[in-house]
Amino acid sequence: MRIAVLTSLYPTHVRPREGIFAERRWLLMRARGHEVSVTQPLPWAPLPIGPASWTELSRTSRRELRSGIEVERPRYLHIPRCPRANARRFARVGVRALLARSRPDVVIADYAWPASAAAERLVAAGIPCVVNGRGSDVLQVAGEAGLGSELRAHLLAAGYWCAVSEDLVARMDELAGSRSGVLVPNGVDSELFCIRERAACRAELAIAATDPLVLVVGHLIERKDPLLALAVFAELQKSLPNARIAFVGRGPLEGELEVAARERGLAERVQLVGEADPQRLALWYGAANVLLLTSRREGRPNVVLEALASGLPVVATEAGGTAELLRGVDGSLSASRAPADIAALVLSELRLPRERESLRSHGKAFGWERGLDALEVLLERAIEGAR
């Protein structure tokens, strides 16, 4: 198949770790013999307003070859607080750039908003379109952003959609009023994320050899709720004063998290690591004693898969597709968001460590093959439907 990916989320030379899970899927589809190209329209603003990332976006190349996949990045006008108009401009510019290349067999709008806005244009041009949901692109857009009716219209225009978790598939089906969604889960690289000798990992990371280590991985943003993770750690300190917590990731809450740690008197026990590439992240999984995930909303968190494949126990709040990954791992999921309740689960994991090989076996079961097989079937169905 000639597959064209239209997306707002993909790694760049400026932001090499953003969307690496999406890139991994398309590299694996290319390895299966499919021709894959990526169109990633990037916003520009005519006024000096908006996030500091405008500078990074302006430095991003318009064309790039990443591991054999051609990526084109046309620009579109982005006006803050105008999501509907921005999505239309994203779609118009993206489809124009996409059609300037060789005609694809199928287009996948990979990150439902704003890419799904291109569905009507593509179908009108005789090109089948599949919308893929990954998390906030469905839940936040259809929720607090108040764009559910627009996303519904895009799904119906495409006629085909999929998502990385059962929870997201159900939400997209509900929006569209049709149980037509397909589960296309991400997988885990079980060669990179594997059981490692903890002392060696800690030595390489230059961290304390024996202190219990709680690991938090993800963007420091509101929906990941790192401040709750810090509150959980403060409760844990009452029973384990020698414990430490490390946050791997960056985001707008970084400064607030640092201040909160200082105000709680925990600054010496809290480490803000910043971003880490996959190889470095694998060391953190190997060094830690437990992964803590306190998200308010999730798609299907890759960090849970990576931790389990690394033999690392997980304590998580109930959010989106997280529960799907922890089925069969008793005691890992908290229905409560009370710090003391979550801390009790973390303490249990630290005092009664699980068998690492058993956790790894559970994580390895979530390989890439199942999702890639389902995606191929869905794309072929969309192509046949267009004929």
Task: Give 70-85 pLDDT, tens digit per residue.
Answer: 999 999 999 888 999 9
SS3 content of the chain, % helix, strand, coil (to 5): 45, 15, 40
Predicted local distance difference test score (pLDDT) of residue 53: 66
Neighbour count for residue 171 (Cβ, 10 Å): 21
User: 64 exposed, middle or buried (CB, 10 Å; 0-12, 13-18, 19+)?
Assistant: middle
Confidence of residue 386 (pLDDT cuts 50, 70, 90): confident
Confidence of residue 47 (pLDDT cuts 50, 70, 90): low
Give the whole-angstrom CA distance, residue 154 versus residue 176.
Answer: 9
In CATH, the number for domain 198-364 is 3.40.50.2000
Architecture of domain 2-186+368-386: 3-Layer(aba) Sandwich (3.40)
Amino acid letter for position 384: E
The 3-state DSSP class for residue 220 equals coil
Give the whole-angstrom CA distance, residue 296 versus residue 300.
Answer: 13
Span 355-382, average pLDDT: 95
Amino acid letter for position 69: I
Span 187-211, average pLDDT: 95
Residue 184 near residue 29 (C-beta atoms within 8 A): no
Note whether 2-186+368-386 and 198-364 share their fold: yes
Give the whole-angstrom CA distance, residue 227 versus residue 99.
Answer: 45
Helix ranges, 146-295 (H): 148-158, 166-176, 198-205, 226-237, 254-263, 278-287
The 3-state DSSP class for residue 36 equals strand
Longest dimension (CA), the chain: 65
For the beta sheet containing 63-66, the strands, ordered from the edge strand earlier in sequence to the opposite edge, are 63-66, 69-72, 35-39, 2-6, 106-110, 129-133, 161-163, 182-183
Residue 7 near residue 40 (C-beta atoms within 8 A): yes
Predicted local distance difference test score (pLDDT) of residue 373: 97
Predicted local distance difference test score (pLDDT) of residue 49: 47
Give the whole-angstrom CA distance, residue 141 versus residue 150.
Answer: 9
Q: Give the start-to-end residue ranges of the domains of the chain.
A: 2-186+368-386, 198-364
Span 314-335, average pLDDT: 91
Task: Give 49-73 pLDDT, tens digit per residue.
Answer: 445 466 777 788 999 999 999 999 9
